[in-house]
Amino acid sequence: MKTTSFPKSLFIGIVFLFLLVPAVQAQNRIGLDAFHNSPDGFHVLIPQGWENLSTQSYARFSNAGVDIYAASVPTEDVQAGIAQAIDLVLPDFDSEPSHVSQVILSNGTWTQQVYPASDEQYVTAYGQVYGGSTYVIVWYSTQPIQPVIVSEEDVQTGITSALAILGSEVDEPTSSETITVNEQTLTQNVYDGITATGRVRGGSTMVMVSTAESEINPTIFFTLLTDFFITPMTTPYLYLGLVATAVITIVFIGSLIIRQRNLQKDLQTLETLQAEGAA
């Protein structure tokens, strides 16, 4: 009786364990759509309200004439990588950068390439080399809005430097105010026909320069850039851990088997001795 009821209980227990899989999986779905997970090993936040037009080759988010792309290319030359990524995501775009600089963000140092506005195309690209690949984020807009990051910790100096990089000679702003967008505090300067919105993050000032009225949230691009993840290559350590697990398991189970066999041999010997003694 005992030997039949226990297997039944065990079977029920195992079935219960397997039922946990879909049950827990159902809970798992919370918040999974927040990131685009690229098979190339990078992960980027999907901006709320933006259309996700990503493909297997690159991430693409679109909103009212603005596209933000993220891609990886297999080169360690960052400038060549940015050029290759632009060829991939914007095959018809043909221009040389007017400004190249290094910017330090919370997720590492990025190479910034600002392209001159032409044919109503406004492009800024950022590239970072990691593990043999260059990861690139490209801002592409058909509206006169363009981002620039400068290594300045003072927001007003940063905005002025950003405008200079884009070739805008400005005097004092006609107005300067602090605004809050998505719980982020921004400084917004209005010049004659130009609006520049900036914020300091770490040691850099991020600036979005616009010469037109736009409903595009200017903080989206920078949030996306700073939330950009590159998954580290830690696979060899996983393999090492699996090997260590196998070794420890084999040693322990092997020791049980060897001890069992030795004891069985001893038992046989003793039984033989006992039988001989009795005879």
Partner 1 sequence: MGAVREMPLAQPEQSVVSQERDRSRLLNIVTIVTIIAVAFGFYLSLFYAGTDIEQGEVQRLFYIHVPSFSGAFMAFGATVIGGILYLRTRNVKWDTLAVAGIEVGLALSVLNLVTGSIWARPIWNTWWNWDPRLTLDAIMILTYSACLMLRNGIENMETRRRFSSVYGILAFTTVIATLMITRIRPDTIHPVVFGPVLTAASQMNAVGGFELAATPGVATAVGYNSAVWCSLVPLTLMWHRIRLENLAQRVNALKARVLSE
Instruction: Say whether 48 sits in a helix, a strand or coil.
Output: coil
Least distance from partner 1 to the Cβ atom of residue 279, Å: 12
Of 16 and 157, CB closest to partner 1: 16
Q: What angle do CA 12, 15, 19 make, to 5 degrees?
A: 135
Of 93 and 229, CB closest to partner 1: 229
Distance CA 28, CA 17 (A): 17
Question: Around 62, how many Cα atoms within 13 Å sit in the side-chain half-sphere?
Answer: 10
Least distance from partner 1 to the Cβ atom of residue 130, Å: 12
Least distance from partner 1 to the Cβ atom of residue 47, Å: 17
Least distance from partner 1 to the Cβ atom of residue 166, Å: 33
Instruction: Say whether 153 sits in a helix, a strand or coil.
Output: coil
Least distance from partner 1 to the Cβ atom of residue 277, Å: 5
Of 28 and 48, CB closest to partner 1: 28
Of 157 and 261, CB closest to partner 1: 261
Distance CA 82, CA 253 (A): 54
Q: Report which secondary-structure segment, H or E, holds 172.
A: none
DSSP type of residue 192: S
- What are the C-alpha distances in Å from 244 to residues 234, 249, 254? 16, 8, 15
Of 10 and 80, CB closest to partner 1: 10
Least distance from partner 1 to the Cβ atom of residue 55, Å: 19
Q: Amino acid identity of 267?
A: L
Binding stretches for partner 1 (CB under 8 A): 3, 6-7, 10, 13-14, 17-18, 20-21, 24-25, 27-32, 35, 37, 43, 229, 231-235, 237-238, 240-241, 244-245, 248-249, 252, 256, 259-260, 263-264, 266-267, 270-271, 273-274, 277
Q: Is the dihedral of CA 159, 164, 167, 171 positive or negative?
A: positive
Of 212 and 253, CB closest to partner 1: 253
